[in-house]
Amino acid sequence: MLRSKMFALLSVFLLSISWEATSDLDHENFLHCLLNHSQPSYPISTAIYTPNNESYSSVLQSYIRNLRFNMSTTPKPLLILTALHESHVQAAISYAREHNLQMKIRSGGHDYEGVSYVSDVPFFVLDMFNLRSIDVDVASETAWIQVGATLGEVYYRVSEKSQAHGFPASVEPTVGVGGHFGGGGYGNMMRKYGLSVDNIIDAKMVDVKGRLLDRKSMGEDLFWVSSPNFG
């Protein structure tokens, strides 16, 4: 038996931020702001990769799905922030806005057009692949899923807890939940259970002001308007 309304979605972000690019001096100021305003419990320095870091290229290339965007002529981000905590996302959004720097959001799924890691103006990448925890509660038939998880990981964690539950989504296991749910979430069970997004009963998001909101704090109007755009 497959049961729907099983998942609530955690740490999914509805916005892709774009502002006018600024000078190199402001880019340096942006980096310093990130480092200086990190929470002691969750230092952001360990999540930042600049072109001077030896791991920069491997981190950038690890989730490039189209080799057309992995050439020497492809524009590269000024830095990659591989968020390890929600506070890192809040910092990225707040200071990108303050310093007028374009931010691209990537969560490791199927982005064959490169929109999450390529730009024609100076930019940085907020990479969400580390935020991939999945907490399944069979008793309440809900689960909190972070945006960096893939559908295959979700299905696996569900199967560990129950052989009688499922979730309406794609049959492709390497699809990222952020982009999939953001597009509505088509799957083979949609005729009976609807789209993936129809089964999202709560969500956490960071808004353009850097505030972490859930369904209650964002209000029903924003929740229902933004639900099809999570990711």
Taking the C-alpha atoms of residue 2 and residue 210, their distance in angstroms, rounded to an integer, is: 37
Among candidate residues 76, 107, 127, the one where a domain is terminated: 127
Residue 2 belongs to some domain of the structure: no
Is the domain of 116 the same as that of 164?
Answer: no
Task: Give the SS3 label for residue 76.
Answer: coil
pLDDT tens column, 109-134: 889 999 999 999 999 999 999 999 99
CB atoms within 10 A of CB 13: 25
Same domain, 63 and 95: yes
Are 110 and 49 contained in the same domain?
yes
Going by the DSSP 8-state scheme, the letter that residue 42 receives in this structure is B
Number of domains in the chain: 2
Q: Are residues 157 and 189 in the same domain?
A: yes
Residue 180: give the domain boundaries. 7-13+131-229
> What's the pTM?
0.84
- Residue 182 confidence (pLDDT): 81
Say if 224 falls within a structural domain. Answer: yes
Which residues touch 171 (CB under 8 Å, ≥6 apart)? 187, 188
Residues 155 and 225 in one domain: yes
202 in a domain, yes or no? yes
1 lies in a domain? no
Can you give the CATH number for the domain in which 44 is found?
3.30.43.10
Which pLDDT score, from 0 to 100, does residue 26 have?
59
Q: How distant, in Å, are the alpha carbons of 55, 63, 128, 140 from that of 81? A: 12, 14, 8, 34
- pLDDT tens, 8-46? 343 344 333 444 444 454 567 777 778 776 778 889 999
